A = this chain, B = another copy of it.
Amino acid sequence: MSDGPAAAAKVKPASDRVRVRRLHERGAYDRATIDAILDAMPVAHVGYVIDGSPFVTPTLQWRESDHVYWHGSAASRMLETVDGAEACVTVTIIDGLVIARSAFHHSVNYRSAMLLGRAHAVKDPAEKEVKLRTFVERMFPGRWDMLRPAAVQELKATMVVGMPINEASAKVRTGPPKDDEEDYALPIWAGVLPMRMEMLPPIDDPLMQAGLVPPAHVGAFRMG
């Protein structure tokens, strides 16, 4: 059925750590599937380890070729920790709830990508600015050149880290519930409740100069 990207099954996992164990038919290891998830959803959850304990921090990621990047304050505990250390970047898009005839077969339609690797800070200020420009332009094409230019101290206060995409997996579920054969005869409604991120009309900053209207890139933004 539609449960997982069958065409992608040919690409093998890069390591046993990223091999999808549960419902392995939902797993994919090809870059096209992984990149499509990363490119559709900037929200990421970054996992890292401090004193042996796991931490998970939400942030926004963007992809450039074979790396993902994320950024934040140079004083961020998360960024400080992941620089030179192992991290896990997980990106999840929820597409719907799968409503079945038994509790057991309820599920979620989703697209998720998990990347393992060692993160590293982008040190060079010029390279850092180019990366941040790419991030802004990825979200809002044309915005960077409309903005007040970045100040030297702003770039200093901002940390950008990157991680190569070389140990990664995707997991995808689509389609209707898969109930037990004998349950299909039951008089129970079953199906999918689809969902997506909805953008609402932009709200002007109340402190804005009069007469300004949102640029096209604001109305064009989509996520998921």
Q: Which of A16-71 contact B (CB under 8 A)?
A: 17, 21-23, 43, 45-50, 52-58, 60
CB neighbors of B among A198-215 (8 A): 198-209, 212-215
How far apart are A167's CB and chain B's nearest CB, in angstroms? 10
Q: Is the CB of B101 within 8 A of A147?
A: yes
What residue in chain B is nearest A221 (Cβ atoms)?
B193
Contact A43 B92 (CB under 8 A): yes
User: Is the C-beta of A196 less than 8 angstroms from some C-beta in chain B?
Assistant: yes
Give complex CA distance A150, B105 in Å.
10
Asked if residues B190 and A205 are in contact (CB atoms below 8 Å), the reply is yes
List, in ascending order, chain B residues with CB within 8 A of A161's CB: none
A85-123 interface with B by 8 A CB criterion: 86-90, 92, 94, 96-97, 99, 101-104, 106, 108, 110, 112, 114, 116
Quick check: is A172 within 8 A (CB to CB) of the other chain? no
With known contacts A58-B112, A195-B197, A208–B223 Cβ distance under 8 A: no
Cβ-neighbour of A208 out of B106, B112, B190 (below 8 A): B190
* Given contacts A58-B112, A103-B132, A106-B136, A205 and B193 within 8 Å (CB-CB): no
Q: Is the CB of B200 within 8 A of A176?
A: no
Q: Separation in Å of the A27 CB from the closest CB of chain B?
A: 13
Which B residues are in CB contact (< 8 Å) with A214? Answer: 189, 191
Q: In the bound complex, do residue A189 and residue B206 qualify as a contact, i.e. CB atoms below 8 Å apart?
A: no
Indicate if the CB atoms of A187 and B202 lie closer than 8 Å.
no
A92 to B53, CA, bound (A): 20
Cβ-defined partner of A45 (8 Å) among B92, B150, B195, B213? B92
A114 CB contacts on chain B under 8 angstroms: 55-57
A192 CB within 8 Å of chain B = yes
**Contact assessment for B150 and A110 in the assembled complex, using a CB-CB cutoff below 8 Å:** no
| Interface pair B185/A209, CB less than 8 Å apart | yes
**Can you show 25 pairs from A to B with CB atoms below 8 A apart?**
A22-B73, A22-B77, A45-B90, A46-B56, A47-B88, A49-B52, A49-B53, A49-B54, A55-B88, A55-B114, A55-B116, A56-B56, A56-B89, A58-B92, A58-B112, A102-B150, A103-B144, A184-B207, A187-B209, A192-B202, A193-B199, A193-B218, A194-B199, A195-B197, A197-B198
